[in-house]
Amino acid sequence: MTAGGANGRHSLPFLHHASRAVCPEAATLICAFRATIRAVPHYFDREPAAPSRPRQVPLRLPDLSLSLASDAGVFGHGRVDSGTLFLLRRAPAPPAEGDLLDLGTGYGPIAVTLGLRSPRARVWGVDVNQRALELTARNAATAGAANVITAAPDDVPAGMRFAAIYSNPPVRVGLRMLHPLLTEWLDRLDDGAAAHLVVHRHLGSDSLARWLGAEGFSVERMASHDGFRILRVQARQAVGDDR
């Protein structure tokens, strides 16, 4: 229940007046809600309002060890997110060739890992956040993953089809934005290809799996740990003209 403009500020006018006309207990809850809203980082802004605070973040996996540049205003600033680590440790190895997608790349832990694990593939790190794209490009260059391409969503060629998608999707944007975002990119999977999405149970992984299934995708929970689920999603089959 958040809204943010280009300047990173929230606009929730109904809260500005509510606490004046309610009981003290309700006013306290409203104030707490305001504080929570202000604390939500704007990872989804094209130009983050948060001042730059660069930081190196270690990424330790069984097959590689990296130091990644991160920054404020980008998802996972300060440490690689636990869901991302679970995905990189438990999801199947990426295809050796073809176009691979990291949707919502952040500063690139997934994209860079895919690039190193599949050096003959072409990896697309896609994000709306320009600071994130700059960090991913820098981290890929430092790691020697020359096959990683960073792009805003509109810059990915319209006809591009993907041999695989790996993503810690931006569930905090809310369902109204998340659902069309996911279907847009999942519908670009090659025939027989699969996406692997990591989502926490408390952030709606199980309901998301049911919704994707109702939309015609084949969905399987392939792994779970500490509340995180890895969902394996395969392309849906078109039915009539409604897809």
Give the predicted TM-score (pTM) of the model: 0.79
Q: Does the pLDDT value for residue 243 go beyond 60?
A: no
Residue 65: the pLDDT is 97
Q: What is the mean pLDDT of the chain?
A: 82
Residue 51: the pLDDT is 74
Residue 44: the pLDDT is 56
Residue 242: the pLDDT is 43
Q: Does the pLDDT value for residue 240 go beyond 50?
A: no
Residue 47: the pLDDT is 63
Planar angle of CA 180, 184, 188, nearest 5 degrees: 160
Residue 72: the pLDDT is 86
Give the residue among 78, 61, 60 at the shortest CA–CA distance from 69: 78
Domain 55-234 has CATH 3.50.50.100: no
With b meaning 16 or more CB within 10 Å and e meaning fewer, what string describes 224-241?
Answer: eeeebbbbbbbbbeeeee
| Range 201-205 average pLDDT | 91
Condensed to tens digits (0 to 9), the pLDDT of residues 152-180 reads 999 999 999 999 999 999 887 888 889 99
Condensed to tens digits (0 to 9), the pLDDT of residues 48-92 reads 667 789 899 999 999 999 999 999 888 877 899 999 999 999 999
Q: Where in the chain is the domain with CATH 3.40.50.150?
A: 55-234
Condensed to tens digits (0 to 9), the pLDDT of residues 107-116 reads 999 999 999 9
Q: Does the pLDDT value for residue 209 go beyond 70?
A: yes
Give the residue among 174, 164, 173, 175 at the shortest CA–CA distance from 210: 175
Q: Specify the pairing of strand 189-200 against strand 162-167.
A: parallel
**Which CA distances in Å does 174 have to 66, 100, 115, 177?**
32, 25, 29, 6
Q: How many residues does the chain have?
A: 243
Q: Does the pLDDT value for residue 200 go beyond 60?
A: yes
Q: Does the pLDDT value for residue 120 go beyond 90?
A: yes
